[in-house]
Amino acid sequence: MADPKLGVYICSDCGIGEALDTEKLENIAKNQYRIEVAKTVPFLCSQEGAQVIKDDINNEGVNKIVIAACSPRVNGDIFDFDPAQYITERVNVREHIVWSQLPAALEEVPEPAAAPEAPVVAEGEEAAEAPADSATATAEAAKMVVNENTQEMAEDHLRMGIVRAQKSEPPVPVIEAVERTVLVIGGGAAGLTSALESAKAGYKVILAEKEAVLGGWAGKMYKILPDKPPFEDVKTPDIDEKIAAVQSHENITVLMEAHIDSIAGTPGQYDATITHSGSTETHRIGSVVMAVGWKPYDAGKLEHLGYGKFKNVVTNVEVEEMAAANNGTISKPSDGQQAKRVAFLQCAGQRDPEHLPYCSSVCCMTSLKQALYVTESDPDASAYIIYKDMRTPGLYENFYKSAQDNPGVMLTKGEIVSITEDASGNIILEIDNTILGEKVRVEADMLVLATGMVTNMLPDGAEKVTDLTPEYVGQWKETETQDGIIKEVIADPVVLNLAYRQGPELPYLKYGFPDSHFVCFPYETRRTGIYAAGSVRAPMTAMQSANDGVGAALKAIQCVELTSRGQAVHPRSGDESFPEINFTNCTQCRRCTVECPFGALDEDEKGTPKTNTSRCRRCGTCMGACPQRIISFKDYSVDMIASQMKAIKVPDEDSKPRIVALICENDAYPALDIAGLNKIQTNPFYRFITMRCLGGTNLVWIADALSAGIEGFLLIGCRYDDDYQCHFVKGSKAANERLGKVQETLSRLMLEAERVTQVQLAMNEWDQLPKIMDDFAEQLKSFGPNPFKGF
């Protein structure tokens, strides 16, 4: 960029001007940082206010802009200056300071003296000018004064914002040619929909299906659940129409009996080697939709429920096959006669720590559907559904009510006490804890077990991650680092066969589903450009899978389009920065390649990292991992954050501690905003530094800042582990693991390890922030002042 010229703009509206001495803030910019352009502007986010900045850009050559006003989460359109030319740094003095700290107060003044009596004036004489009312004069002399702690907080944050802008440069995007082709793996409801939607958007599609026919489970069903209002009646599958549309579309190439041999490269430039129908080809693709579906839980493990022990105990999948083969008629396996009394047992091997710990969500509706098969094929037949809880989410409640109205369907909540067989092969069920509070005995021709759905991400024979014994695991990969050996489990290839140092497949969640941020980014996986859709990522109906296919297709397209512009995808969508490595000082410790949550970094035979820009999500975890501090972004660096900490003015008074809070931009920052919007007062001695992710926390900051008199560090980040919601998957956890090494650093400084603490916080837990901050401040107070203060 051109020679940097910084302008500072302070808003005086929204109570800022009343709570802060803005002239003093201006003077800090002008005198301490020698900034020529520093102004207080009323209503800065108005058209007139924003025009002040634009005029200075055009007339004064300002190209680095510091805006001390409202949160950067609002008015982004007003302060939208071209990031390729200008650095814009927002300092949140409204939500984080003015609205959450003590306001200005009326200056205390002495009680006014009693006014003297007016003199008596003789007739014809002019009255002398009456003395001013001392009470009025005193009131006029009284003025609003800012709260000292609030003012100091604003001053420190302004300093940090100025330093951050000074240390920033506009990022230069890495732009490379991309291939606008989507590889869809799987030809079921999700995969077919993804292929069609991508093709309609003008993309080329390669659809790879491992079977000899398309359609997946939807093609094997007699009926499917309702997918249109009023969601009351089952319907005939329409998957054949979708198959025909895929096969006839000019943008779609269908590969049957296909196997993915390998996927190498980066988003926009993947090379997929696929064997199909006896031939092997390599295709250049831009992104991947993985829609490989599900498999039923192995009912052979449910002998305690009679499966494999009694002939007339079957699974819901087997009943569907019977219905499809016999036009809806359900027959007893023992003699082939039509079943007149069919019992359905819900949660068979589900919500059970010994089998599937989770609920497959679809099974209740599947049993309702199959109960209708029984009564529709024979009006005199009966169906009994025994459930723990009947789960029919959303509009499927209408389907549940419709089935309840069927006189041939009986539903009861209860627990199975025993399952036995009589001499004629009938199944006898003893049920306890029913709604009626009585034991119930049901005699049925058949028992249908509602077994669950297992993701096809797991190898055959494994239903959950704990099943991944050495029989299913290829190897343990051990990587030697400066901090010791890091072990990683590498599963045998199942679907993708990725040429990544992190292994051939996606990482698993605890139940085997591909992991991602499953609330905010449901389709994203930990491999940028690869998206999971349908029941491979969570149990769902055919309709839900099809909808999922649309979402994943849009994400796959978005990834390629952003990559073509050198921009990041979720969650920092549009970010043009990328990590730059000073290889001269690299020690090949491999911390960055190991800790990267997304496989963005490979390494050569010596362990030197190799960047793959379009895989990168720009979280900065590699920056925090590097002990040499040689990884940084143009607009986000180790030096920048360190300089912000140095900009904090540490008073000599012990009554004014300075505590640094590193806050992630995704949950902690908005939580602070919400607290401010609700005018909840927070501790005034904190100084907030925004992180893309706590994974970018470098331990050198902590040692340096504590050595300069900072009392402590509070790291506020997203939740992690089994129920993690970290927007960068494991960044928050990586920071926590790093903090385990702080003890050694603080011991050298003769400081308490508890001066550095991390808390997990979701955005909706904003009301807990004041207590969290106060409790940590009290803990620091109990240690006594930082002995380095004043040195």
Residue type for 574, please?
G
Residue type for 28, please?
I
- pLDDT category at 789 given cuts 50, 70, 90 is confident
492 assigned to some structural domain: yes
578 assigned to some structural domain: no
42-46, 173-177, 436-440: least confident range: 436-440
Q: What is the pLDDT of residue 686?
A: 98
65 vs 462, residue with greater confidence = 65
430 assigned to some structural domain: yes
137 assigned to some structural domain: no
Does residue 368 sit in the same domain as residue 391? yes
489 assigned to some structural domain: yes
Could you give the number of structural domains in the chain?
A: 4
Does residue 335 sit in the same domain as residue 355? yes
Residue type for 671, please?
A
Q: Among residues 453, 479, 513, which one ends one of the domains?
A: 453
Does residue 447 sit in the same domain as residue 415? yes
Q: What is the pLDDT of residue 135?
A: 44
**In the β-sheet with 530-532, what is the strand arrangement from edge to edge?**
252-255, 204-208, 181-185, 287-290, 530-532
Does residue 542 sit in the same domain as residue 653? no
Residue 134 pLDDT > 50? no
Q: What is the pLDDT of residue 140?
A: 45
Separation in Å, CA 64 to CA 478, 501, 567:
46, 40, 22
Per-residue pLDDT tens over the stretch 365-390: 999 999 999 999 999 999 999 999 99
User: How many whole angstroms separate alpha carbon 536 and alpha carbon 210?
Assistant: 15
Does residue 442 sit in the same domain as residue 466? no
User: How many whole angstroms separate alpha carbon 96 and alpha carbon 90?
Assistant: 12
Per-residue pLDDT tens over the stretch 645-701: 999 999 988 999 999 999 999 999 999 999 999 999 999 999 999 999 999 999 999
Q: What is the pLDDT of residue 313?
A: 98
Percent of the chain with pLDDT over 90: 76
Does residue 312 sit in the same domain as residue 402? yes
477 vs 609, residue with greater confidence = 609
Residue 122 pLDDT > 50? no
Residue 776: CB atoms within 10 A of its CB come to 23
User: How many whole angstroms separate alpha carbon 309 and alpha carbon 288?
Assistant: 43
CATH number of the domain that 529 lies in?
3.50.50.60
Q: What is the pLDDT of residue 307?
A: 97
Does residue 380 sit in the same domain as residue 465? no
Does residue 154 sit in the same domain as residue 190? no
Q: What is the pLDDT of residue 723?
A: 61
Residue 136 pLDDT > 50? no
- pLDDT category at 137 given cuts 50, 70, 90 is very low
Work out the mean pLDDT of the chain and round it to a whole number: 90
Instruction: Taking each helix axis as running N to C, give the angle between helix 148-166 and helix 638-646, from 0 to 180 degrees, rounded to the nearest 10.
Output: 150
60-69, 104-113, 281-290, 632-641: least confident range: 104-113
Q: What is the pLDDT of residue 129?
A: 47
719 lies in which domain range?
Answer: 638-783
Which residues partner with 759 through β-bridges? 716
User: Maximum CA pair distance of the chain?
Assistant: 133
262 assigned to some structural domain: yes
Which ranges of 565-667 does DSSP label H, i.e. alpha helix? Answer: 591-595, 621-625, 638-646
569 assigned to some structural domain: no
Residues 6+ apart with CB under 8 A from 466: none
656 assigned to some structural domain: yes
Does residue 272 sit in the same domain as residue 341? no
Q: Among residues 453, 477, 498, which one ends one of the domains?
A: 453
Does residue 395 sit in the same domain as residue 315? yes
CATH number of the domain that 741 lies in?
3.40.50
Q: Among residues 564, 596, 630, which one ends one of the domains?
A: 564
- pLDDT category at 181 given cuts 50, 70, 90 is very high
Per-residue pLDDT tens over the stretch 520-560: 788 989 899 999 999 999 999 999 999 999 999 999 999 99
DSSP 742: H
Does residue 680 sit in the same domain as residue 776? yes
Does residue 382 sit in the same domain as residue 495? no
Residue 424: CB atoms within 10 A of its CB come to 9
| Residue positions counted in the chain | 791
Give the number of C-alpha atoms closer than 13 A to the C-alpha of residue 512, restricted to the C-beta side. 29
- pLDDT category at 594 given cuts 50, 70, 90 is confident
